[in-house]
Amino acid sequence: MDTFQSVTDIALDLTADLSADDRYDRLLRTLHRVIPFDAATLLQVKENKLTPLAAVGLTPDAMGRIYDRKEHPRLDIICNSDKPVLFSKDSMLPDPFDGMIVSDPQGCEHIHACLGCPLYVHDKLVGVLTADALNPEAFDRLSLEYLQAVASLAGAQMQTAILIEALEKQAERQGQIATNLMQDVELRRGCEILGQSPSMLQLRKEIELVAKSDFTVLILGETGVGKELVTRAIQRQSRRSEKAMLYLNCAALPETLAESELFGHVKGAFTGATQNRAGKFELADGGTLFLDEIGELSLEIQAKLLRAIQEGEIQRVGSETILHADVRLLAATNRDLEYEVKQGKFRADLYHRLNVYPITVPPLRDRKDDIAILSGFFITKAQKKMGLQEVRISETALQLLKRYNWPGNVRELENIISRAVLKVSRHLDGNTILQIRPEHLAGDLGSAMYVQPVQEVSGRISEKISFRDEVKRFQINLIQTALEKRNGNWAAAARDLDMNRSNLHNLATRLGIRQRRQ
């Protein structure tokens, strides 16, 4: 296909009935026909941050990262330019996607072709298009005029996507579209609710729907799934978004203080009440109140909470004055409240008042396709905290993460990734890109990953897992990874695996990856 035809196809897509994600993906696929890149990405720009909208040829964790211009000089140069930028093949500037190009997972090819196009809409920078090729001469014959035309059309594609989203949200003025671009993306991603699995897409739809109302929302889910993030997303998209959202952890409240925390007290109401104090309901008037772990409240407090919800009336401890508060209530719990009602531990009338619109946050084991994106996000977060440059994750390490059953859900994943980044930082050596490998995860995941029960996955029943076979496969992958890292040096691999060299030889022989000495 010639360059004229590719430009025509991009232009025709401007009038096609496509979703924003489809537009971005088709744009990159069309460009790949005429630009010989190994990886390309479309990023959205807001202030000093770049957020990926679509990518080809990059590892999945790339989509979970946020790229700061201050930390990525190549991206900063592109953003400061008014025309396409073709970097010298000898440039020593670090590439933001080193180690994330699928065809070069080890990041060995530091010298390669790299270009970037700033995307403008009405003289406003809204995005960046990047392309990388491992062949240093891959882009030498590209016309800058062609790249400029592509950049203009790509900016128009982004503008079209924004327009569609803005019309769906009934934006008051078209001039607000570019300004609201990043906000729309953040809302679609759910205020850091990351993931593209069907269950997460459905969760975002539920949030968007109920956020527009003033309904009480009961958020259900296991510990660590991200119930608090759901409440933030609901608040952000609600009509009360400019008002405060107050938070109260009911599990951390002593029963003697729960009523005061919720409804306030007057001076002298009890020992230690030295002055009047407003409660959370009163402070949240006009806004939102989030009661976390609501299943922990006593039956006595539940009765008073019911009155506040039903009548909008509150009464400070020690006062006879009735106050009124207009509060939207969001509540969360990891308990089965229906079971608690049957056991007499939770009031049925309060449960039905809370259960106006229930939202269940899926556990991580039911959306393992999101682990790569989540891992990329947590790696970026951890490496910034530790002051590291770039940390990647190997495909074998990702596969191990997907095999685990995640009893602690997303919170456990973040903790394990943070520890893995810390472990891999021991190997910091000049400009070497750090990479999380299976050995950095084994201590945390342990053997639990191999005894995952038979369960239903995507409508199919998974096959039984052989403990012995899975342990063997894990040992083989671990040893092979260590050997690849040390270029076949068995002594160095044994040190990395914290094993005696002769023991490693014997184990490798039993596993069939090393010939027995005669």
Check if the beta carbon of residue 451 is closer than 8 Å to that of residue 467: yes
pLDDT at residue 160 is higher than 70? no
pLDDT at residue 35 is higher than 80? yes
CA distances to 223, 234, 305, 434 from 289, rounded to whole Å, are 20, 12, 12, 43
pLDDT at 268: 84
Q: Which two tokens stand for residue 84?
A: 């396409």
pLDDT at 2: 55
136/207 Cα distance (integer angstroms): 46
Range 68-85 average pLDDT: 93
pLDDT at 467: 62
Check if the beta carbon of residue 379 is closer than 8 Å to that of residue 388: no
Beta strand 288-292 with 328-333: parallel, antiparallel or unpaired?
Answer: parallel
pLDDT at residue 305 is higher than 50? yes
pLDDT at 39: 93
- The answer to which of 66-80, 188-202, 316-330 has the lowest mean pLDDT is 188-202
Could you tell me which residue, 176 or 466, shows the higher pLDDT? 466
Could you tell me which residue, 144 or 176, shows the higher pLDDT? 144
pLDDT at 99: 85
pLDDT at 107: 60
247/228 Cα distance (integer angstroms): 10
Range 239-260 average pLDDT: 85
Check if the beta carbon of residue 65 is closer than 8 Å to that of residue 52: yes
pLDDT at 157: 67
Could you tell me which residue, 445 or 508, shows the higher pLDDT? 508
pLDDT at 182: 36
Could you tell me which residue, 279 or 122, shows the higher pLDDT? 279
Using alpha carbons only, how large is the chain's radius of gyration in Å?
Answer: 27
Beta strand 67-68 with 49-56: parallel, antiparallel or unpaired?
Answer: antiparallel
- All CATH 3.40.50.300 domain ranges of the chain, comma separated, are 198-360
Range 286-310 average pLDDT: 91
pLDDT band at 187 (very low <50, low <70, confident <90, very high): very low
Could you tell me which residue, 416 or 13, shows the higher pLDDT? 416
CA distances to 25, 48, 247, 293, 297 from 252, rounded to whole Å, are 47, 38, 12, 9, 10
Hey, what CATH class is 198-360 in? alpha beta
Torsion angle defined by CA atoms of residues 251, 256, 260 and 266, in that order, rounded to the nearest 10 degrees: -170
Burial class (CB in 10 A: 0-12, 13-18, 19+), 224: buried
Closest CA to 291 of 304, 281, 282, 299: 281
At residue 79, what are phi and psi to the nearest 5 degrees? -65, -30
pLDDT at 180: 33
pLDDT at residue 453 is higher than 80? no
Q: What is the DSSP string of 364-381?
A: GGG-GGGHHHHHHHHHHH
- All CATH 1.10.8.60 domain ranges of the chain, comma separated, are 375-511
Range 278-289 average pLDDT: 88
Distant-in-sequence, close-in-space partners of 400: CB < 8 Å, separation ≥ 6: 438, 441, 442, 445, 449, 474
| HSE-CB for 310 with a 13 A CA cutoff | 11
Average pLDDT over all residues of the chain: 81
In terms of CATH architecture, what is 375-511? Orthogonal Bundle (1.10)
Closest CA to 493 of 510, 512, 476: 476
Let me know if domain 3-175 sits in CATH 3.40.50.800: no
- The answer to which of 83-92, 120-129, 178-187 has the lowest mean pLDDT is 178-187
- Identity at 205, one-letter amino acid code: K
- All CATH 3.30.450.40 domain ranges of the chain, comma separated, are 3-175
119/44 Cα distance (integer angstroms): 9
Range 268-296 average pLDDT: 87
Helix (H) or strand (E) holding 72: none
Range 185-209 average pLDDT: 77
Three-state SS for 129? strand
